[in-house]
Structure 1
């Protein structure tokens, strides 16, 4: 009983930090039926939403560069203060990058709890715990890159990093929020997984230790991509694009 309570406390804490809601919500698309027609409007919204999020985060990087420059040039602050501010900034990006997204990026277990999953799929609690660990690794590796780049933020590795976060948020909208299991397959491969490989390679080239630290995220995203693919297979193998929705009330 105590072990069960402890697990419940840990789960609540982890979900609160990551912002994951319990899987007891009604599916947002339950009042709609799908056709075999591609939803062009959804595709445009995903692309624009991703591009705008990237643009906003690049502007934020510029703002951080100005802020940290002021801190570094102000003798009133200790030498380590700008590193602390930078680490907190990367922590915010890693855990809550969705605050910069115009898309619905609600973190919820609803879809994962309701779909048919393979036997080897991890329990729901594993995901927020692993993502917390990855967030820590992202912070450490990104701070190493920032230090190597003379405290600059508008550099290729960090710009690619925010692109990776943005495409990950868009994938979350497609899979978790809208439950488009077919569209989620190519997006997770061409988005979060491929961008993670690219970012890790660039980090490794810039600071080998940073690349090694971040490489764990590639391993996890490989597993996650395989899971997304298997869930798609087990739940009807719908077309690999967003399907146009038709209201059941019509």
Structure 2
């Protein structure tokens, strides 16, 4: 909580700062009693209407004005507050960074809606395929369904409600990109290993084993394949959080969720075709290594704004914003 000294400073200094021969103070509002203390002083010009003409925002520390800025009535104080908490703010910024940022419930809500929405869209698509196959008595040759499932590995993102490439408002300048560039653990495999393991080993076995299950069930929209689709949906969510929103902490948690859904998929496949389940389980080796790599990356890359490790939960911070595809 804010000290009495801060509260007295905010009321006395705030009022005196707007008093002049040209202005009339209308109100002084303490916007926050949690550090940092924020004061908004609204005033009007002599002879003008009774509506507020402007406001001055203060951030108070230790009984004194730490920062102040003149703003128009329409402007939001959020941008000024975030600027005052930047690393260049000195001791006050370091002091404020000790408290954990609030949870971004909006992001959690949108992620949940996107995950469930994608699953619903995929199920509807596969259900329509089943109806089409049944209506026209179409054959489902094993070797023809492998490319179908492989394409799902590559393009399930078309069902995602979240962007998988940067929106115009999310694109960063080169300077911003360097600012967010991450250090890699010393044991990170060379790039060609990723180029081989993901498309050939992981995607290849997903497609092959899914085709094996389809050959047994005769249906696309069946429980084992929908468990696989839930795994792919988590993968799309991870891609958005890690590569689009650049939230390193939550992306670590999502990678472990990806591993759990992969294990659930292997188990579901095993119930239908034991060989398919065993083959898919092999990809857990690579996924476990990827999760360990991401965890170490998180440990050695502190948030550049605070100098501390990013929170594993989604934090409500100005630089991070979750948007649906249709949001600008």
- Normalised by the length of structure 2, the TM-score is 0.58
Partner of 2:311: 239
Q: Which has the higher strand share?
A: 2
Partner of 1:193: 259
SS at match of 2:318: strand
Is 1:106 matched up with 2:165? yes
Equivalences for 1:16-31 in 2 at 5 Å?
none
Taking the aligned partners of 2:271 and 2:110, their CA distance within structure 1 comes to: 34
Taking the aligned partners of 1:180 and 1:143, their CA distance within structure 2 comes to: 34
Offset at residue 125 of structure 1 (A): 3.4
SS at match of 1:122: coil
Change (3 A) 1:175 1:246: same
Is 1:94 matched up with 2:94? no
Offset at residue 88 of structure 1 (A): 3.0
Equivalences for 1:1-250 in 2 at 5 Å?
36-71=101-136, 73=137, 82-106=141-165, 114-133=181-200, 134-149=202-217, 151-189=218-256, 191-236=257-302, 237-246=309-318
Cα RMSD (Å) of the superposition? 2.7
Change (3 A) 1:162 1:97: same
Offset at residue 84 of structure 1 (A): 5.0
Taking the aligned partners of 1:45 and 1:144, their CA distance within structure 2 comes to: 34
Residues 101, 317 of structure 2: 8 Å contact kept: no
Residues 150, 203 of structure 2: 8 Å contact kept: yes
Residues 46, 170 of structure 1: 8 Å contact kept: yes
* Higher RCO (CA 8 Å, separation ≥ 6 residues): 1
Offset at residue 126 of structure 1 (A): 2.5
Residues 201, 211 of structure 1: 8 Å contact kept: yes
Change (3 A) 1:195 1:240: same
Change (3 A) 1:247 1:180: closer
Taking the aligned partners of 2:101 and 2:114, their CA distance within structure 1 comes to: 24
Offset at residue 221 of structure 1 (A): 0.9
Residues 68, 82 of structure 1: 8 Å contact kept: no
Offset at residue 168 of structure 1 (A): 1.0
Taking the aligned partners of 1:128 and 1:244, their CA distance within structure 2 comes to: 34
Superposed CA offset, 1:96-144 (max 9, x none)? 111110111239xx89x92111111122333232111121111110011
Partner of 1:16: none
Q: Structure 2: any 5+ residue segments left out of the alignment?
A: 1-81, 87-96, 167-176, 303-308, 321-328
